[in-house]
Chains A and B, each alone.
Chain A
Amino acid sequence: MYSPTEADAVIIGAGPVGLFQVFELGLLEIKAHVIDSLPEVGGQCIELYPDKPIYDIPAIPVCTGRELTNNLLKQIEPFSPQFHLGQEVTQLEKQADGRILIGTSQNYHFLAKTVFIAAGVGAFQPRLLNLEGIEAFVDKHVYYRVKHPEQFIGKRIVICGGGDSALDWVLYFADKAASVTLIHRRDDFKGAPQSIAKMRELCAAGKIQLLIGQITGYEAQEDCLTEITVTDIDGNTKIVALNDLLIFFGLSPKLGPIAQWGLDIDRKQLVVDTEKFQTSIPGIYAVGDINVYPGKKKLILSGFHEAALAAFAAAAYLNPEKPIQLQYTTTSPKLHRALGVKPATFE
């Protein structure tokens, strides 16, 4: 284990509520680290509905998931949070000294005085190919993400999926791989229109092959995949020889290891009080869709309120002797310094 990063606050989840938690902690002069399983911030807002309108953010009549995320990032900029993206929190344990040890899937560790779980409905993970025995080939010849594109150059590759990830890699590898076969269960793609058009062009020019159907079987020799069987909707099958299989079926959230952290859970949500939004372990707070309390409504605006009260609770927990004054961003010179803005001048 590397020596852990020491922190006053670690936020698990970079969705809207996790991002606003940075802001509320920042006003109280608490610096935060933010961990998220996705490679970019925004959580469900970015992963599930980046371009769909949201109408119930107070004082913002309408914004998209992406706009909300960008605005929050701008709002928390003065507090320069440290983001640790593309890694899932796998371990969370209270230590004898009261601090909380956090471990991630990238083997990164933190020792935090306070933790804010803003994990929504869980960590987004790739949807898997449903084919018996295929697990054994994952990261050998079956991939759910491309980390090293150069490893596929000159290979016969099969790419599965109907969205932008699948299309982008098809276009990228079209003239670099020995052969590229795209497989999608419907002849209907949900990607950028220009990517779809480019893919169709390559297909018409014979540079790539497009098959409509699903993978229903495979052959392997020792540790190597040799061919897959593709079955179309009418039950016709086709054999495709290959070296590597790249699967892009999108991402879906899974609650994952949160249930094993020893926190009180009700129907797979973390039980909190409505004064501090603290879980059953002091110093660990839960905000946003992951928590539950009487009357809970899963709204972004509820999460913002929860983040504010959790921040005040954490400030009292971190410095029990220091009284906390409620200050207003409109008038407080202290908050103006924290925000890096000039004091208001009155004419």
Chain B
Amino acid sequence: MTYVVTESCIRCKYTDCVDVCPVDCFREGPNFLVIDPDECIDCAVCVPECPVNAIYAEDDVPGDQQAFIKLNAELSPSWTSITKSKAALPDAEEWKDVKNKLDQLVK
């Protein structure tokens, strides 16, 4: 199993999650984070850290977010590791409650 970052993170990227990851399994893209499923150890520590509730256990990913299981797996090999939090994207506040923003994802 693994944990999965879902749509809420797109264009926000608060990065609070990366500080608590014991195994440094977060990968960073231009406007989204993913979890490397080969590294995640299912400890669940990151889940409550996310201010926009973007992280779910693989088995609990909501129905309309299922595509993100594959996206996390596909994007993690080519994105770079992020191990320390940094400032959220400048317009994160405006995007945090926006739904259906998968088209905004920059790969």
Do they bind each other? Answer: yes
The chain A residues found within 8 Å of chain B, CB to CB, are: 48, 120-122, 127-128, 130, 214, 249, 252-255, 267-269, 289, 298
Convert B19-38 into 0s and 1s, putting 1 for each residue whose CB lies closer than 8 angstroms to a CB of A.
11111000000000000001
- CB-CB under 8 A from B86, the residues of chain A are 130
Let me know if A267 and B39 touch, CB within 8 A: yes
Given known contacts A122-B22, A252-B19, A254-B22, A269 and B41 CB-to-CB distance under 8 angstroms: yes
Total cross-chain contacts (CB, 8 A): 40
Let me know if A252 and B84 touch, CB within 8 A: no
Please pick, from A253, A254, A268, A298, the residue contacting B39 in the complex, using a CB distance under 8 A: A268
- How far, in angstroms, from A214 to B85 measured CA to CA in the complex? 12
- CB-CB under 8 A from B38, the residues of chain A are 267
Given known contacts A121-B45, A267-B41, A268-B39, A253 and B22 CB-to-CB distance under 8 angstroms: yes
The chain B residues found within 8 Å of chain A, CB to CB, are: 19-23, 38-43, 45, 84-87
- CB-CB under 8 A from B20, the residues of chain A are 127, 252-253
Please pick, from B43, B84, B87, the residue contacting A289 in the complex, using a CB distance under 8 A: B43
- How far, in angstroms, from A298 to B1 measured CA to CA in the complex? 11
The closest CB in chain B to the CB of A214 belongs to: B87
Let me know if A253 and B45 touch, CB within 8 A: yes
Given known contacts A252-B22, A268-B23, A130 and B84 CB-to-CB distance under 8 angstroms: yes
Shortest beta-carbon distance, B43 to chain A, in Å?
4
- CB-CB under 8 A from A122, the residues of chain B are 22
The closest CB in chain A to the CB of B19 belongs to: A127
- How far, in angstroms, from A269 to B41 measured CA to CA in the complex? 7
Please pick, from B41, B84, B87, the residue contacting A121 in the complex, using a CB distance under 8 A: B41
Please pick, from A130, A254, A268, the residue contacting B85 in the complex, using a CB distance under 8 A: A130
- CB-CB under 8 A from A249, the residues of chain B are 19
